[in-house]
Structure 1
Amino acid sequence: MSKSIFLLRHGQTVFNAQQRLQGHCNSSLTDLGQQQATTIGLSLKNKLANKRQWTIYSSPLGRAMQTAAIVAEQIGIDSDKIVQDIRLQEFCLGDWEKAYIPDLKAQQPRLCEQRDWYLMAPNAESYYGVKDRIEDFLADVSVPENIIIISHGLTGAVFRGVYAGMTYSEVFSQDLPQDAYFLLANDKISRIQCDIYSEMTLAV
């Protein structure tokens, strides 16, 4: 694959902080989530030799678009140029959307023993459904060579898995950070950690 892709998850949301599942529903970024988005935006700004060569793609879900707008502002890219792509949105979590994770654990004490427990939700979108839309995105010749993608925790893990040819278990053994992002280039994945205070200091 010849594309260079920076892939990140949206910042922390109100539902994340409340330990509630989101899926296709939405909640706004917390103050921390906005800081995380700003920090990653500053980090990206320092890594891009020419911002004009890069296009921002985002899941159309509100939390991703809110993150994308903050990232675009830090880099100096017009937020009107953000491309919304439904293929990048999060798994639908069916009947568990808006549910509190502690409540689900209380009802099913062994639920979280498996890393893919989210997909056990009644009427949840299947792994293969999401895998298909990521494969379609990566094969899409209309997508530019240099892109910054704002997606979600689970979909981002599947994206990295498809890119690197991971097995199902490898996909769900990955972490889902909101304080780091990934460079996918030359068939390799590099994790870039972001520290809020060091990035802010560099920006001053």
Structure 2
Amino acid sequence: MSSRREIYLIRHGETEWNAAGRFQGILDSRLTEKGVAQAEAYGRHLATVSTKIEKLVASPLGRVRETTAIIQSFGRFPEAQWDHRIAEVSVGSWDGLTHADIEAQWPGLLNGSTPFDWFFRSPDGETYDAAMARVIEWLDSLSGVVLAVSHGLTGRLIRGAYLNLMMDHALSLPVPQDVIWRLADTRIEPIRVS
């Protein structure tokens, strides 16, 4: 394996709950037709990358397993290593709920939150510090050319940790499902695939 570290980071394809505005956290729903097409676009593009992908690391959650299997059907990828450190952030009892559900069941708890930091206000969810610690541990363990298949919020944390961003900046990073993020040489380059 090379001593250089280069990461191709993607978010799983769109799921039924993404389309319905439900926050999945560590729960799962299937990919939509659009999500399958997004995963296929990832696979087609990644199969043409001139740099050989040496390692494929993915969250063990079902939507990522489904996305990863589709990507791997395009051929030239190593066997996936399932790593809980890049699983989605758990929002505890909020997993599977919509924003309206949360507001109805926990009135006022989201008051004063930003569009991004509310994820970490769940009374029994994962904290920002805990989630960031596992992401940093994962990043520090990598070498070579890695394809990482993860999630929206965790993908923000990975990119934020890579660039050493403050919490509010990390949490406001975009989370499209049609972009491969290339992390190399202390820079992040978006590669649109659709």
> Normalised by the size of structure 2, how large is the TM-score?
0.89
Deviation at 1:77, TM superposition (A): 2.6
Q: Which residue of 1 aligns with 2:21?
A: 19
What is the total number of aligned residue pairs between the two structures?
A: 189
- Letter of the 1:86 partner, please give it: H
Q: Which residue of 2 aligns with 1:83?
A: 81
Superposition RMSD in Å = 1.9
Match of 2:131, SS state, is: helix
Match of 1:46, SS state, is: coil
Q: Which residue of 2 aligns with 1:158?
A: 157
Deviation at 1:18, TM superposition (A): 1.3
Residue-by-residue CA offset, 1:46-83 (whole Å, 9 max, x unaligned)? 22343xx42211000010111111111124336xx111
Residue-by-residue CA offset, 1:11-45 (whole Å, 9 max, x unaligned)? 01111111111111111111110100110111111
Distance 1:73 1:186 in 2: 29
- 1:11–1:36: 8 Å Cα contact kept in structure 2? yes
Distance 1:94 1:159, change over 3 A: same
Match of 1:7, SS state, is: strand
Distance 1:189 1:49 in 2: 16
Distance 1:75 1:4 in 2: 20
* Structure 1 alignment gaps of length 5 or more: 196-204
- Letter of the 1:98 partner, please give it: G
Deviation at 1:112, TM superposition (A): 6.5
- 2:58–2:148: 8 Å Cα contact kept in structure 1? yes
- Letter of the 1:122 partner, please give it: P
Q: Which residue of 2 aligns with 1:94?
A: 92
Higher helix share: 1
Distance 1:70 1:84 in 2: 15
Q: Which residue of 1 aligns with 2:119?
A: 118
* Structure 2 alignment gaps of length 5 or more: none
Q: Which residue of 1 aligns with 2:71?
A: 71
1:173 aligns with 2:172: yes
1:45 aligns with 2:47: yes
> Normalised by the size of structure 1, how large is the TM-score?
0.85
Q: Which residue of 2 aligns with 1:201?
A: none
Distance 1:117 1:97, change over 3 A: same
- 1:57–1:149: 8 Å Cα contact kept in structure 2? yes
